Chains A and B, each alone.
Chain A
Amino acid sequence: NAGVTQTPKFRVLKTGQSMTLLCAQDMNHEYMYWYRQDPGMGLRLIHYSVGEGTTAKGEVPDGYNVSRLKKQNFLLGLESAAPSQTSVYFCASSKNRQVSTEAFFGQGTRLTVV
């Protein structure tokens, strides 16, 4: 079972460059999330989606955009990378509120902006 797969696993960007992180899940989950993990701050929610074609802002959305054109995919975009966006990014998914509360996480993407 693949579960939640993130691409790429590592990336180094120069300030001002753009990139897209891809998250794919094969569990037919309705909800998907992007979190960032920084030392001493735990994981913080960037954006989330409650279904195909819908997205919403989380706790720290500035500098990021997302899209969910297909139910199984959730893309996180950085239009103009900044050193403050150096972090480990996690995608997660969950079935829906009524059925399950468990979130399944991808393996993370370590992004360094220089």
Chain B
Amino acid sequence: AQTVTQSQPEMSVQEAETVTLSCTYDTSENNYYLFWYKQPPSRQMILVIRQEAYKQQNATENRFSVNFQKAAKSFSLKISDSQLGDTAMYFCAFMNNAGGTSYGKLTFGQGTILTVHP
């Protein structure tokens, strides 16, 4: 079984600055996906970014980028030019893509509450 750990329960950042959220995971698999989901106060889960384990290049989506360190089993999220709308809970998640039995099941970390201050 895999585990996902987010060791920062809360983070804060000033508007326009950069912040990095940490995530580590444990798995014996080689073929998997990693995700960052955003959950604003509305409760809606929004996919922020996705990384395929076999791709060495770090994924980027506009102001959001990841630092994927496969050997260290680390997957951090960097938010550049933080905006007030980035205030939310952020979840790191793992999905095993090996074999035929994963069926898209996600394993989530505990979450990090990010507050962006004006």
On A, residues with C-beta under 8 Å from B are 31, 33, 35, 40-45, 48, 50, 56, 58, 88, 90, 92, 94, 96-97, 101-103, 105, 107-108
Contacts and interface: CB of A to CB of B under 8 A. Distances in A.
Contact of A41 (B42, B50, B95, B110): B110
B104 A101 contact: yes
A48 B44 contact: no
B42 A107 contact: yes
A35 B111 CA distance: 15
A103 B106 contact: yes
**Chain B, interface residues (CB within 8 Å), range:** 20 to 34
Interface of B: 4, 6, 9, 33, 42-45, 47, 50, 91, 93, 95, 97, 100, 102-111
B108 A105 contact: no
Given A43-B91, A88-B43, A108-B43, A97 B104 contact: yes
A9 to B, nearest CB: 9
